[in-house]
Structure 1
Amino acid sequence: MTDKPYRAAIENYIAAHANPTHKFGHQPRLYALTQLIGEGLTYDDDVVFAAVWLHDLGVFIGHRPETEEALKTWDHVAYVTEKAPAILKEAAFPEEKTPAVLEVIRTHQPKDTPLTPEATIARDADILEQLGAIGITRALAKLGSDTRFCTFTEALHALKKHLTTLPNQLLLETSKALAIPRTKIMQSFIDSLETEGGKNLF
């Protein structure tokens, strides 16, 4: 993207701040998914790009609170919507597109209702990232770097919740088709984990 140096600037910012390091991979994977989902649709790819690269800044160590108690009420979306304008300005991102980027970030979670094509694409992509082999990997990685669950059983419960609730929240037909093999992988993993671990999974 030599004609859009702000893209490299945004990527470099996230690369420098992603902590733990494994959280960096979510952004390029997510953007790749938006391109698959958005094929044939009319939307502003700059807006989607900037939003998916910045949307999780508030979950990085160094940006989120350090205490478990503070994390329980932490609003990482509010944090990044406050920080993003300055980051985008520093990257020389087109200023007139910043409000659209913030709107995507504001409504990127499954519980949200996206109001723009860009937000719908990004939200569907973020849901897909929580399914399949990647979804399993991300959930298990949190055992060592996240306070939301500390045991394999808690991780298993999270995976079950993702499998039963997230696919039905996808909005676009392309996203729903992409979810099918991911849900099969996740169901197979859950079945195998329960068979092998049994009551001793812990």
Structure 2
Amino acid sequence: MDSGYWQSQFEDWLRYHHQEQDAAHDIFHFRRVWATAQTLGENGPVDWLVVLSACYFHDIVSLAKNHPQRHRSSILAAAETRRIFLRDFPDFPAEKLAGICHAIEAHSFSANIAPTTPEAKIVQDADRLEALGAIGLARVFAVSGALGVALFDADDPFADRRPLNDKQFALDHFQTKLLKLPLTMQTERGKYLAQRNADFLVSYMAKLGAELKGDYETQDQAVIQTFATASVTPVAET
């Protein structure tokens, strides 16, 4: 039974059992994380069945961003994944469950659990890349809209004169989390891609800053100077 077989099994299970999640944590998110994960493998050995399984079940429990126990989502997801696999996938190799559960626990930014295996590092990077770039931009506003969070503070969009509060303003989430992600990446390829996609978010912020001043042609260079981060040495395209 190869990864293709198990991917098909997981997809069938999720179609039947996982229909209530928000647009940022649906089956399409799982597919994208798995697709990205496959580009992040480095020279050492990787158990791709562990990676596949963690990619498809890492958000099987995903508490809302404003839930008081949000930081425990990945721990709950790991426990639920173990229960699901033992109950619904009896032919799955049980010896891989520990690695899968660790990768799921460690993927979360809010859980602050360090990944200790190659598989967990790949899953963490792949999931964090989903929070950056064009997809990340869409996901931020999809989740914020579902929670009734305002797009930004019209009087102070970049929090120059107030504390950041991403529970009140979606744009604040760029500063509280997203622009910090490149520094947390585990793989060399992940670091490179994260930086490029964080730069895209800064470009969006600069365009927004200009438009809020009535300029629809250029970007606000002050925003770029404030938020642009140090470049990461590119790695070869694969």
Residues 2 and 115 (structure 1 numbering): CA distance in 2 closer, same or farther, change over 3 Å?
Answer: closer
Pairing 1:44-59 to 2, within 5 Å after superposition: 44-59=47-62
Pairing 1:94-113 to 2, within 5 Å after superposition: 94-110=93-109, 111-113=112-114
Deviations 1:125-181 (A, max 9, x none): 111111111110110111232x3x611011111023334311111122111122232
Q: Who wins on radius of gyration, i.e. which is larger?
A: 2
2:200 corresponds to which of 160, 169, 185: 185
CA shift, 1:21, in A, is 5.5
1:157 corresponds to which of 166, 172, 177: 172
Counterpart of 2:92 in 1: which secondary structure? coil
How many percent identity over aligned positions? 28
Please, what TM-score do these two structures have when normalized by structure 2?
Answer: 0.71
Runs of 5+ unmatched residues, structure 1? none
Q: State whether residues 33 and 125 of structure 1, in contact with CA within 8 Å, keep that contact through their aligned partners in structure 2.
A: yes
1:30 corresponds to which of 30, 33, 37: 33
Deviations 1:42-85 (A, max 9, x none): 110000110111010112xxxx58xx6xx222422232122112
Q: State whether residues 132 and 197 of structure 2, in contact with CA within 8 Å, keep that contact through their aligned partners in structure 1.
A: yes
Higher helix content, 1 or 2:
1
Q: Give the CA RMSD over aligned residues.
A: 2.4
- Letter of the 2:6 counterpart: Y
Runs of 5+ unmatched residues, structure 2? 153-168, 214-238
2:85 corresponds to which of 84, 88, 91: 88
1:78 corresponds to which of 75, 80, 86: 75
- Letter of the 1:112 counterpart: I
CA shift, 1:87, in A, is 1.6
Please, what TM-score do these two structures have when normalized by structure 1?
Answer: 0.83
Count of matched residue positions in the alignment of Structure 1 and Structure 2 = 189
